Structure 1
């Protein structure tokens, strides 16, 4: 091997390492600059806790979206699943909640049954999404978009379009509780990120997920059950959306059919900023989680600096485009 070839190989190795960790470097640089620009307000423990707390719901949704994107799919129903789960769990609050919901068909379920029903529903919806994509060969974009519309309509029917108030006091207590100075929703997000990060990086499950995203045909030829693994990815995404619904209710104390707002776009944006490829097979849970924190921190900094909402949207869009361009340029393949 010539010296030029060695240098080229080493350059490719460095480019790969930089591509894999670019968002982490960018996030650390951003934190330092944000602290300077805000006069130290950004780095105050209370503000950092707020950023983490606000990231918990979106962060869990991003974990599910990442799993699906790694198998070259996308789930446009993930936010709708979370909101529907939160609505079902909110119905377990009290008899007073039932009386406040006269315009809808949402029944009083009770605390524990409502959680069980909500989580089972979230898992089932994720499974149906996977079956639609794998068995019926409906493009993921179309299948999950249709599911999102159906779930939004169902949520409106269940509530009559009214917010669900007065959930069980447990949710508020859970949202305010702390462990090691961190709000419990943040701990749930970090624990799930660690769990799925290890699952993808240190298990056969992860090897198969990346292989399917890289080349479904090659994965099938190597004996990987592509269909079953793809359905499993969508099912796990549904499960994580159900957990996010629980955290949403714990954070806000109420939920409405329209509460999803920009949650869906935020999940895709955070994953893309974290380096997860839209074509599948590339990215990591760690970087997706950092991408979530990066966007949440950027929004928080702009709020501190009193940047107008319209400008915030523009800046967010520019950051996403730059992230895609950087990942494409650093990718040695």
Structure 2
């Protein structure tokens, strides 16, 4: 029993849990009345699902050794397509439209649109052999451009009450969208830890040549991965349009850096092949606590962005030099 507890202490997931508890405790001590207030805790729970689901999508792309810079633009355009279809449905049935049908239209449209945009990224990265960072940067501009043309740069709003209820209603004072985030995280964890697709994604990211020699169709796995990332982007777009009760090109742009930061902080190696879903979820919660603490302490957005950038670079440096130092001390002790 004692050995089992020690083994749990050694797991990186347990360390991420300790980090989350430590950050939460420190902020609670620094500002107990503000940070621990019901309003602040509920506000954090409302914000987590949006960039948390996006971070899970970014995690998948990075594990393959790539990245998806178009993930925010994908979320926005998916929600815009869904909004337009919903408007047309209400126009046809102005007096007797169904809330259930509206939710189905939004859900299905966001997922299909996100899936197709993710498939485009996957095809460009795999079959066209484009670097992921350049391919998704290009599609990001394309998706943003299409969104701007469709909406004229204006926000789409005046949704039926059922739309806002999806992400703003609570159960036991906890946002329903937070439960949705946990559910989505559980599905991604099952896929990555207990399915053939998850194994192949890790294998591809760790050693593409070995994966190919073992019979893995690398191109097809890449397309599947970016399709899954696109699905998560579309779903996040649905949550964003519901929480803000509107959608516009550029919504969620502040999440671009956060999604990458959360993934890297969660132990996803930028070269691919490594990363755990549970660690990314805990990293999401930790970063949300830090962001809330910044708000309470009065940090401006500019200062926060500087800190996020410094943290990202620091983590990248540690990831880069740690194996070198580890090997150096190992060889030194061996000698």
TM-score bin, normalised by smaller chain: 0.7 to 0.9
- Higher deviation after alignment, 135-144 or 46-55: 46-55
**Number of residue pairs matched by the alignment:** 311
1:89 aligned to 2:82? yes
Q: Alpha-carbon deviation of 1:120?
A: 1.4
Q: Give unpaired runs (5+ residues) of structure 1.
A: 1-12, 99-109
Cα RMSD after superposing both structures: 2.6
1:182 aligned to 2:179? no
Match of 1:281 in 2: 273
Aligned mates of 1:127, 1:42 — CA distance in 2? 41
**Structure 2 counterparts to residues 1-333 of structure 1, below 5 A:** 17=10, 19=12, 21-94=14-87, 111=102, 112-113=104-105, 115-328=107-320
Aligned mates of 2:80, 2:282 — CA distance in 1? 29
Deviations 1:180-223 (A, max 9, x none): 43211111111011111122112222221111111010111112
Aligned mates of 1:297, 1:286 — CA distance in 2? 17
Secondary structure at 1:142's aligned position in 2? helix
Aligned partners of 2:192 and 2:199 also within 8 Å: yes
Aligned mates of 2:208, 2:88 — CA distance in 1? 50
Q: Alpha-carbon deviation of 1:97?
A: 9.4
- Higher deviation after alignment, 62-71 or 114-123: 114-123
Q: Alpha-carbon deviation of 1:170?
A: 1.5
Q: Alpha-carbon deviation of 1:93?
A: 4.8
Pair 1:96–1:166, CA change in 2 (3 A): farther
Aligned partners of 2:81 and 2:113 also within 8 Å: no
Pair 1:309–1:264, CA change in 2 (3 A): closer
Secondary structure at 2:17's aligned position in 1? helix
**Normalising by the residue count of structure 2, what TM-score does the alignment of the two structures yield?**
0.85
Aligned partners of 1:97 and 1:164 also within 8 Å: no
Pair 1:330–1:286, CA change in 2 (3 A): farther
Secondary structure at 1:41's aligned position in 2? helix
Aligned mates of 2:141, 2:121 — CA distance in 1? 13
Deviations 1:44-73 (A, max 9, x none): 343222112111110111111111111111
Aligned mates of 1:282, 1:95 — CA distance in 2? 44
Secondary structure at 1:283's aligned position in 2? coil
Pair 1:85–1:226, CA change in 2 (3 A): same
Aligned mates of 1:166, 1:91 — CA distance in 2? 12
Aligned partners of 2:144 and 2:249 also within 8 Å: yes
Q: Alpha-carbon deviation of 1:25?
A: 2.5
Deviations 1:135-174 (A, max 9, x none): 1101111111111100100000100111111123211111
Deviations 1:55-108 (A, max 9, x none): 11101111111111111111111100100111122224547998xxxxxxxxxx
Aligned partners of 1:93 and 1:168 also within 8 Å: no
